[in-house]
Chains A and B, each alone.
Chain A
Amino acid sequence: MNIQVNRRSLLAGAGALSVSVVLPGGKARAAVFGADKRPPLIPQNLSSYVSINADGSAVCYWGKMDMGQGTDLGSAQMVAEELDLPIERVAILQGDTGTSVNQGGASGSTGIQMGGTALASAAAEARFQLVQMGSKHLNIPADQLRTENGAVISKADAAKKVTYGELIGGRWFDTQLEWNNQIGNALFVKGAGTRKPVAEHKVIGTSPLRRDVPPKVTGSGDFVVDIKVPGMVHARVIRPPVAGASPVSVDEGSVKDIPGVQIVREQAFLAVVAPREYDVVKAARQLKVTWSDVKPPFPGNAKIYDHIRAAPVLMKGGDKPVGDVEAAFRNAAKVIEATYEWPFQSHASMGPACAVVELKGNGEAVLYTGSQKPHFTAEGAAAMLGLPKDKVRGIWVPGPGCYGRNDAGDAAADAGLIAKLTGKSVRLIYSRADATGWDPKGPASVHKARAAIDKDGNVTAWDFGSKGFSRLDVNSNESAPHDNLAGQMTGVALKPTHIFNTPEESYGFANKRKTWETIPPLLDRASPLRGAHLRDPLGPQIHFASESFIDEAAFATNTDPVAFRMKHLKEPRDLAVVKAAADKAGWQPRTAARKQQTGDVARGQGVAYAQRNGTRVAVVAEVEVNVRSGKVWARKVTVAHDCGIIINPKQLTMTIEGNIAQSLSRCLHEEVKFNDKNVTSVDWETYPILDMVEAPESVEIVLINMPNIAPSGAGEGTMRPFAAAVANAIYDATGVRIRQAPFTPERVKAGFV
């Protein structure tokens, strides 16, 4: 039989896949290869990554997950390529601790870059092993065999062949790989089998369609919120009205009319459960709680940048400086400088996080989660359940798109704690206010840039410094209680990491310095403003500043912004994306803002570029600014994108399109508002995102394929330079330099005064 890729039937096997062997057509096997049971699920075993079904199709096991960008499909294509199978015959199972080793989940756009690459390497070894088996089966030396379409074939006589299914179908590879001793993103394995040369690629570079699309569009697929387990109760959490407060007393009488309600309380953590979902919705709203009186912890969003500037520095860092920056500034004919500001932003995921914890009654549990890192998240739930981590199976189920460390990990830990305290299986879903108000946030920051210019108008020094909140008050891995709200609310010792980043680019200024400073969090425990990874952590804010300032430096030296970048960028791939975007967009050179205005509408064009972990992206935005309302419309967007070899051009294009719209949303609209007591951005009215009427009229994407360069990520690269391209276009349209995000009508209009 085939290995079913259905999650529920996998569960029936309690973590292990067991299959019987029935050969197609009842053909006898010449020799028995492999193992009849799956060897232990450890990184060294080839069976941990790939198996062959009785019909000769393959299953690969991916310790990551895909939330709709097609990186699972891309990874399956890489496996199909190495196995010489058509993509239709390769299934991929993902994000399940019961079937895959921990490859770090979705993280840093490494789905294909690291996750797919590790699977492809394992698949190359699988093909090597299949050829060895074929050699024994056919009694032909291995070097006289080739593989094609799921069969090992004699190079001399195509009639002499054996299919993968005949060799090991329904059984398991029992050989090992060299493992680099890393788990998570960096996990890599290698065997004797080598990857195919690019010239022989048949599957990589094609665009098969995603398999998750039809069930999503017809409503037949499960999301986490659809998971039901026996005996489960529904849960809702109650967050404090003033951040940092704890419940002093809870009036049980306030919910006594609701059947089956149970109040769950542990230190600052408070939740309600009930057998029926709507009952718990009512209970969460009705429950009367007296909260501790705490000093309001926040300065309010209006004062956040002054707070950052004045705050003590907790940690400093930066890149190795180039040349003598101070001397260059001393000798400058002219110095320009500017300061840029970026607010806290929310993940504001499409649905509030949901987690289901099923207690199996034997000291084991299963976590169903939409988190991007199910392997780590299951450890986080285990910690709250008080169970050893190997007793909690984590199963990723599609959830609302999760672009970083959103509220999903907190929901899993909360559900674990509620299950422990009630002894019941639990499905927890947050309210919208829990989700937008209390998710971990992309941190706010201030960026100061300076450039020294000599008497001939050359930039002689570049000095860029950021100061802001750390991006890792809570870690993305969600495995430790101190990284989850439930842990923080129940008093575990805190363990934040203080870290910021610098711009990623290849400008060859003779003297160059890039530094950062982090400041203490506004509230160190259970804060609704805890810093965490939000899609391209710190990338949009840093490159909004650095690439806006490149524009300022270009104009200060009487140079066209594209020409300035072409003059100073050093890496050929960077030059290529800038040129490609400018050419495609029909870039019109200028050495000052053009301020092209017709009636109330001013039109402009702006460019920006950045690197991201191997990927290079340039964006040209064309905007219309209504000078009466201050409203900005990015009418046309052009992106040139180089992420090495392209695995699936269609899904890459769609991923870039998603980046464009989400970037536009972040730079035009998104700012977490808060007063002295708490976050006040708690829904879609108070935290607006891009609306359909604001979507660009046209999008042009230039994919630059680099067949001989390993694939790098595409999930975040476009997000990095995007805001600066829009700000630079606003400047070209109006002569107004916007140095604070988001570019709201009020802020743009204020620039006209």
Chain B
Amino acid sequence: MEGDAPVCRKRRDPVAKIDLNVDGKAHVIDADPAMPLLYALRDDLGLKNPRFGCGLAQCGACTVLVDGVPMRSCVMPVESMTGRKVTTLAGIQKDGKPHKVQQAFIDEQVPQCGYCLNGWVMTSVALLESNPQPTDAQIREALTGLKCRCGTHISMLRAVKRAAQA
């Protein structure tokens, strides 16, 4: 079932003030503390790029970095984000220039529909942070579990290798 755990909790006051730090900016929102972070990012902060794919942490379309670690925002209660730094696909650019992983995805013309991209790009960013020169097997292992329906897997492998050399 979709994100059952956060929803089923009973609370006396369903709405609370919650502090968020997203892409380097501080925000305060009024929200059900159990609401998944994804809805806060999309509906309260108006960000477009993390997308709903399954609500089950199975696909990665909603992936953001939380303190540098790729996480599935569709199942993470927004209250658990207090004091943590959330980075989205739009927030990894520097000085208006795409991150080297984004640039490699552009150069390799990776996305087709592009709906799944958050997961692949954000997970690749985190991979190259911790392992700047990954092997083919390490890239595959890092990206396992993410879904792409258009079948751009082959070009994604090329793009991550290209970014590692950038």
Residue-by-residue, is A350-384 near B (CB-CB < 8 Å gives 1, otherwise 0)?
11100000000000000000000000000000000
B-binding segment of A53-61, A206-214, A703-711: A206-214
Q: Are B147 and A689 in contact (CB under 8 A)?
A: yes
CB of A216 within 8 A of chain B?
yes
In contact, A348 and B149 (Cβ under 8 angstroms): yes
> B73 at interface (Cβ–Cβ under 8 A)?
no
Instruction: Fill in one digit per residue for A217-258: 1 if any B CB lies within 8 Å of its CB, else 0.
Output: 111111101100000000000000000000000000000010
CB distance from B74 to the nearest CB of A (A): 10
In the bound complex, residues from chain B placing their C-beta under 8 Å from that of A277 are 39, 42-43
The answer to whether B114 and A429 have CB atoms under 8 Å apart is no
Q: Chain B's nearest CB lies how many Å from the CB of A236?
A: 10
B114 and A212 form a contact (CB under 8 A): yes
Q: Is the CB of B140 within 8 A of A401?
A: no
Q: Provide the residues of chain B in CB contact with A220, threshold 8 Å.
A: 48, 90
Tell me the residues in window 425-439 of chain A with beta carbons closer than 8 Å to chain B beta carbons. 429, 431-433
A491 within 8 Å of B (CB atoms): no
Name the residue in B52, B113, B153 with the highest tally of chain A Cβ atoms < 10 Å from its Cβ: B113
Known: A662-B151, A690-B153, A691-B144. A209 touches B89 (CB 8 A): no
A276–B43 contact, CB under 8 A? yes
Interface: A696 (CB within 8 A): yes
CB atoms of B154 and A684 under 8 A apart: no
For window 528-569 of A, CB contacts with B under 8 Å fall at: none
0/1 interface trace, chain B 34-46, chain A, CB 8 Å (1 if under):
0110010011000
- In Å, the complex CA distance between A219 and B109 comes to 15
- Complex CA distance for A650 and B110, rounded to whole angstroms: 11
B129 near A: Cβ within 8 Å? no
Which residues on the B side are within 8 Å of A2 (C-beta)? none
- CB-CB under 8 A from B113, the residues of chain A are 67-68, 350, 398-402
Taking A217-B121, A401-B149 as contacts, is the C-beta distance between A351 and B90 under 8 angstroms?
no
Residue in B48, B53, B89, B102 whose beta carbon sits within 8 Å of that of A432 in the complex: B53
Cβ-defined partner of B155 (8 Å) among A282, A433, A654, A659: A654
Structural contact, A684 and B58, CB atoms closer than 8 A: yes
B35–A216 CB distance below 8 A: no
- Closest residue of chain B to A685, judged by CB? B58
B156 at interface by CB-CB < 8 Å: yes
B residues within 8 A CB of A650?
109
- A277, B74: Cα distance in complex, Å: 13
Among B42, B61, B88, B157, contact of A695 (Cβ-Cβ < 8 Å): B157
Chain A nearest Cβ from B128, distance in angstroms: 16
Instruction: Check if A658 is an interface residue, CB within 8 A of chain B.
Output: yes
Binary CB contact string for chain A from 54 to 78 against chain B (1 if under 8 A, 0 otherwise): 0000000000000111000000000
Interface centre among B48, B93, B105, B149 (most CB of A within 10 A): B149
B148 at the interface (CB under 8 A from A): yes
Per-residue interface assignment for chain B, residues 98 to 132, with 1 indicating a CB less than 8 Å from any chain A CB and 0 otherwise: 10001001100111111111100100000000000
**With an 8 A cutoff between CB atoms, is A263 at the interface?**
no
**Is B7 interfacial (CB 8 A cutoff)?**
yes
**A220-B90, A222-B48, A282-B7 known; A432-B56 Cβ under 8 A:** yes
* Residues in A neighbouring B61, C-beta threshold 8 A: 350-351
Q: Are B54 and A692 in contact (CB under 8 A)?
A: no
In whole Å, how far is B86's beta carbon from the nearest beta carbon of chain A? 14
B59 on interface, CB distance cutoff 8 Å: yes
In contact, A654 and B53 (Cβ under 8 angstroms)? no
Determine if A662 and B150 form an interchain contact, defined as CB atoms under 8 angstroms apart.
yes
Q: Is B141 an interface residue when CB atoms closer than 8 A count as contact?
A: yes
CB of A683 within 8 A of chain B?
yes
Q: In angstroms, how far is the closest chain A Cβ from the Cβ of B104?
A: 9
Whether the pair A68, B90 counts as a contact (CB closer than 8 A) is: no
- Tell me the nearest residue of chain B to A228, going by C-beta: B46
A160 within 8 A of B: no
- B31, B114, B115, B155: the one within 8 Å of A217 (CB): B114
Q: Which residue of A lies closest to B157 (CB)?
A: A695
Main secondary structure of the interface of B (DSSP, over half): loop
Contact of A683 among B36, B43, B49, B56 (CB under 8 A): B56
Q: A651 contacts which chain B residues (CB < 8 A)?
A: 109
Q: Are B89 and A654 in contact, CB atoms less than 8 angstroms apart?
A: no
The interface residues of chain B lying within 8 Å CB-to-CB of A391 are none
Cβ contact within 8 Å between A68 and B114: yes
Known A-B contacts A68-B114, A683-B56, A693-B140; the reply to A217 vs B154 at CB < 8 A is no
Given A225-B51, A350-B149, A657-B152, CB of A209 within 8 Å of CB of B109: yes
CB distance from B3 to the nearest CB of A (A): 8
A216 and B111 contact, CB distance less than 8 A:
yes
Q: A348-B149, A350-B149 are in contact. Are A432 and B49 (CB under 8 A)?
A: no
Contact (Cβ within 8 A) B109 A654: yes
Nearest Cβ in chain A — how far from B46, in angstroms? 8
Among candidates A349, A399, A692, residue contacting B143 with C-beta atoms closer than 8 Å: A692
Residue of B nearest to A435 (CB): B54
A278 located at the interface, meaning its Cβ lies under 8 Å from any Cβ of chain B in the complex: yes
Asked if B54 and A683 make an inter-chain contact with CB atoms under 8 angstroms apart, the answer reads yes
Q: Does A661 contact B (CB under 8 A)?
A: yes
How near does chain B come to A302, taking the closest CB pair, in angstroms? 25
A433 to B58 CA separation, bound complex (whole angstroms): 13
Whether A696 lies near B154 (C-beta < 8 A) is yes
**Residues B109 and A401 in contact, CB atoms below 8 Å apart:** no
Given the complex of chains A and B, what is the CA–CA distance between A640 and B143 in angstroms? Answer: 29
- Please name the residue on chain A nearest to B145 by beta carbon: A691
Set of chain A residues within 8 Å of B14, measured between Cβ atoms: 257
Let me know if B146 is at the binding interface, CB within 8 A.
yes
**Distance A690 CA – B93 CA, assembled complex (angstroms):** 30
Tell me the minimal C-beta distance from A536 to chain B in angstroms. Answer: 13
Given A225-B52, A432-B55, verify A285-B7 contact (CB < 8 Å): yes
In the bound complex, how far is the Cα of B113 from the Cα of A658, in angstroms?
11
Task: Indicate if the CB atoms of A226 and B144 lie closer than 8 Å.
Answer: no
Q: How far is the CA of A349 from the CA of B139 in the complex (A)?
A: 24
| Interchain CB contact under 8 A, B147 and A684 | yes
Flag whether B26 is at the interface (Cβ < 8 A).
no
Contact A661 B35, CB 8 Å, known A219-B88, A281-B2, A695-B140? no
Q: Evaluate contact between B150 and A432: CB separation under 8 angstroms.
A: no
Report if B166 contacts A (CB, 8 A): no
Can you list, as one digit per residue, whether each of A300-339 has a CB less than 8 Å from chain B (1) or not (0)?
Answer: 0000000000000000000000000000000000000000
User: Across the interface, do A692 and B156 meet the contact criterion of CB distance under 8 Å?
Assistant: yes
B51 lies within 8 A of A217 (CB): no
- Contact between A68 and B58, CB atoms less than 8 A apart: no
Give the Cβ gap from B153 to chain A, nearest Cβ, in Å: 4
What is the chain B residue whose CB lies nearest that of A66? B112
Contact B151 A659 (CB under 8 A): yes
Report how far A730 CA is from B111 CA in the complex, Å. Answer: 31
With A282-B7, A661-B152 given, is the CB distance from A432 to B54 under 8 Å? yes
Known: A401-B115, A692-B144. A350 touches B35 (CB 8 A): no
**17 pairs of residues in contact across A and B, judged by CB atoms under 8 Å:** A68-B150, A213-B110, A219-B47, A219-B88, A219-B117, A225-B52, A277-B42, A285-B4, A350-B59, A350-B150, A351-B52, A352-B53, A398-B113, A400-B115, A661-B154, A684-B59, A696-B154
- Closest A-B pairs by Cβ, 8 of them: A661-B151, A219-B49, A68-B112, A216-B114, A401-B113, A695-B153, A219-B89, A662-B151
Q: Please give the residue numbers on chain B whose beta carbons come within 8 Å of chain A beta carbons, in ascending order.
A: 1-2, 4, 7, 14, 31-32, 35-36, 39, 42-43, 47-49, 51-56, 58-59, 61, 88-90, 93, 98, 102, 105-106, 109-118, 121, 136, 139-141, 143-157
